[in-house]
Amino acid sequence: MTVTDGEEFDKMHGSMFVLLRRFIEHDYGYSGWANLTEAAGIPNPSYQMLDMYPTSELFAILRAASSISGTSEYELLEKYGEFLVPDLLLVYKKYVKPEWRTYEMLLHTETAMHGAVKLEHDRTTPPKLLVTKKGPSQLIVDYHSHRKMAGMAVGIIKGIAKYYQESDKVTITMLTPTNAERVQIKVEFEY
Ligand code: HEM
C-alpha cells in the first residue's frame, strides 16, 4: 500500500465528467475527445450525469490534453472550471436566488450550492469553501480539498463573474500557492 492508494479510489459526481467532455469537445471537437481519452488510457468512456467516476480519470484526460496542446494542466483546470459554470447553474438553478450576483453566489456556495449537491447525491464530497467577508467589497475564499483542484476554483469564480457580466468588476488574487490542499483566494469587487 502506498499513501496514494486512497486517492486512486476517490470519485466525483458524473456532472463533472459530462461537462469535462463538453469542454474538451468544445475546444478539440468530437475526435479530439476520442483521441484524448484513448491517450489517457480510458478509451470510449460513457460518463453519465448521475453516476460517480474516478477523479484520477479526470486528471488523466486533462494531462493528455495538456501534453497535446502545450497548455499547462493548471490553465486547463482553470479554463474547465470557467466553462462549466453556466451548465452547473442550470442544473442547480432552483438553489440560486434571483437577486444574487457574484458576491452573494460566492458567499452562499458552501451552504446553498455545495450543500444542495451533498443533499441530492450523498456520495459526493465537494471541497470545503470557507468564505469570509472582509468589508463590503472583498471576500476571502478558503479552499480545502485533498484533490488539490484550486485552479478549478479560480476558474469557477471567473465563470460566475462572467455569468453575471461582472468580469470587469472582479479581481482574483491567489494568497497562497495553488497546488495545495488548502488555498486562499482573495476576491475584490468594484461595486
Ligand atoms: C455555483 C454553484 C456551484 C455548483 C452547483 C457546484 C457543484 C459542484 C459539484 C457537483 C462538484 C462535484 C463534487 C463531487 O463529486 O464530490 C463540485 C466540485 C468542485 N467545486 Fe463546486 N459548485 C459550485 C460552486 C463552486 C465555487 C464557487 C467554487 C470555488 C470557489 C467551487 C469549487 C469546486 C471545486 C474546485 C470542485 C472540485 C472538487 C474538489 O476540489 O474537491 N464550486 N462542485
Burial label for 8, CB within 10 Å (0-12, 13-18, 19+), is exposed
Residue 175, CA distances (Å) to 54, 141, 143 in order: 30, 10, 11
Looking up cell 479530439 gives 32
Dump pLDDT digits (tens) for 144-157.
Answer: 999 999 999 999 99
Residue nearest to atom 22 of ligand 1 (CA): 114
11 CA: nearest ligand 1 atom: 15
Three-state SS sequence of the chain: CCCCHHHHCCEEEHHHHHHHHHHHHHHHHHHHHHHHHHHCCCCCCCCCCCCEEEHHHHHHHHHHHHHHHCCCHHHHHHHHHHHHHHHHHHHCHHHCCCCCCHHHHHHHHHHHHHHHHHHHCCCCCCCEEEEEECCCCEEEEEEECCCCCHHHHHHHHHHHHHHCCCHHHEEEEECCCCCCCEEEEEEEECC
Residues 58/12, Cβ–Cβ less than 8 Å? yes
Nearest CA to ligand 1 atom 40: 149
- Model pLDDT, residue 20: 98
Closest ligand 1 atom, residue 16 Cα: 12
Paired residues of 141 in beta bridges: 131, 185
Atom 28 of ligand 1 has which residue's CA nearest to it?
Answer: 153
CB count within 10 Å of CB 92 equals 16
Say yes or no to pLDDT of 2 above 80.
Answer: no
Which pLDDT belongs to residue 136? 86
The yes-or-no verdict on residue 1 having pLDDT over 60 is no
Best residue among 18, 19, 152, 160 to mutate for probing ligand 1's pocket (most ligand atoms within 8 Å of CB) is 152
Distance 97 CA to ligand 1 centre (A): 18
The closest-lying atom of ligand 1 relative to the alpha carbon of residue 85 is 1
Instruction: Sketch out the chain's domains with CATH numbers.
Output: 5-71 (no CATH), 82-189 (3.90.1520.10)
Q: Which contacts qualify for 168-172: CB closer than 8 Å, 24 or more apart? A: 169/102, 170/102
pLDDT score recorded for residue 3: 41
Q: Average pLDDT, whole number, for the chain?
A: 95
Calpha distance 2→9 (Å, rounded): 13
Model confidence at 7: pLDDT above 80 = no
pLDDT at 160 over 80: yes
106 CA: nearest ligand 1 atom: 27
